[in-house]
Amino acid sequence: MSRIHYSSCPVCGAAQLNTVFSVKDYTVSGELFPVVECAGCTLRFTQDVPAQDAIGAYYKSEDYISHTNTRKGLISKLYQAVRTRTMQQKAEMVRKFTKKKTGRLLDLGCGTGTFLHTMQQEGWEVTGLEPDADARHMAKQLYQLDVAPSPELYQQPENYFDAITLWHVLEHVHELQPYIAQLKKLLKQEGVLLIAVPNYTSKDARVYQQYWAAYDVPRHLYHFSPRAIEILLAQHGLRISRMLPMWFDSFYVGLLSSKYKFGTTRYISAALHGLSSNINAIGNTKECSSVIYVIRKG
């Protein structure tokens, strides 16, 4: 299998790279992958990941909720219960930051199409891209959505979309720099780019260390800090206008992290760690378990 080994940082190009620890793939393979940190921009990334044409096998699990819509297990049921509410919150964000009731939306890594469906119901013209063929098929079955494969990102019209959304997607993208450059091209001058990613500098990540579920190797290629995101975007003439917390993520990730660390989910301690992480992030979104970056041109 073809693997990618970085000798310099994929964000800033610095060569001073330090291995932090090895993380196990708990979802599919059980393999260990090194997580490396850049001394320049503080990006962490997964070393020796499968190349783009080989990584699909690492997504084939019923535990990978965004691709399967599974309701098996308590954690999956909790995820599904919260999802309807979060879809409405995301829709409200799009309306607020575009200042539009309707418009053109591109959702990348749209999974089974739940968010696309939410926005379509509100009158938006929606386009969805998704690498997984099974997820695209489910989007058609569930919502009658014609979702295209991800490479069609480069066939989309320039200066066209009022909003482009990536809900926990950027950390999965192999060609990081060309991808960001293309997003800028597709976005209208006054449009908004919303990127949500896990934040390894959060308190819950520090507590769980290599067991922190949001490392999710090797599917998560990058592990962003707010500083790394800012540096990445600035290279492409993009700026962060707001940072918003994702409060639920610390609890969901905590439940999985507890299971990975102890072999069984310790619900009370996981909930307390999640709460502690959120309290720590009040007034300082840069400390939140996951962060939504509101991004504009210029």
Give the tens place of pLDDT for each residue, 12-63: 999 999 999 999 999 999 999 999 999 999 999 999 999 999 998 998 877 6
User: What's the confidence (pLDDT) of residue 165?
Assistant: 98
User: What's the confidence (pLDDT) of residue 68?
Assistant: 46
Mean pLDDT of 227-231: 98
Mean pLDDT of 217-244: 98
Confidence band, pLDDT 50/70/90 cuts, at residue 65: very low
69 pLDDT above the threshold of 90: no
Q: pLDDT tens for residues 91-130?
A: 999 999 999 999 999 999 999 999 999 999 999 999 999 9
User: What's the confidence (pLDDT) of residue 298?
Assistant: 85
Question: pLDDT averaged over the chain?
Answer: 93
Q: Rounded distance, CA 94 to CA 174, Å?
A: 26
Q: pLDDT tens for residues 155-193?
A: 999 999 999 999 999 999 999 999 999 999 999 999 999
User: What's the confidence (pLDDT) of residue 283?
Assistant: 94
**Are the C-beta atoms of residues 203 and 276 closer than 8 Å to each other?**
yes
**Are the C-beta atoms of residues 119 and 101 closer than 8 Å to each other?**
no
CA 20 to each of CA 33, 41, 42, 46, 203: distance values in angstroms, whole numbers, following the listed order? 11, 15, 12, 10, 17
Confidence band, pLDDT 50/70/90 cuts, at residue 73: low
Which residue reads 């600035």 in tokens? Answer: 234
Mean pLDDT of 214-243: 98
Class of domain 74-208+225-297: alpha beta
Which residue reads 């720099």 in tokens? Answer: 177
- Tally of residues, the chain: 298
202 pLDDT above the threshold of 50: yes
Structural tokens at position 61: 């699990």
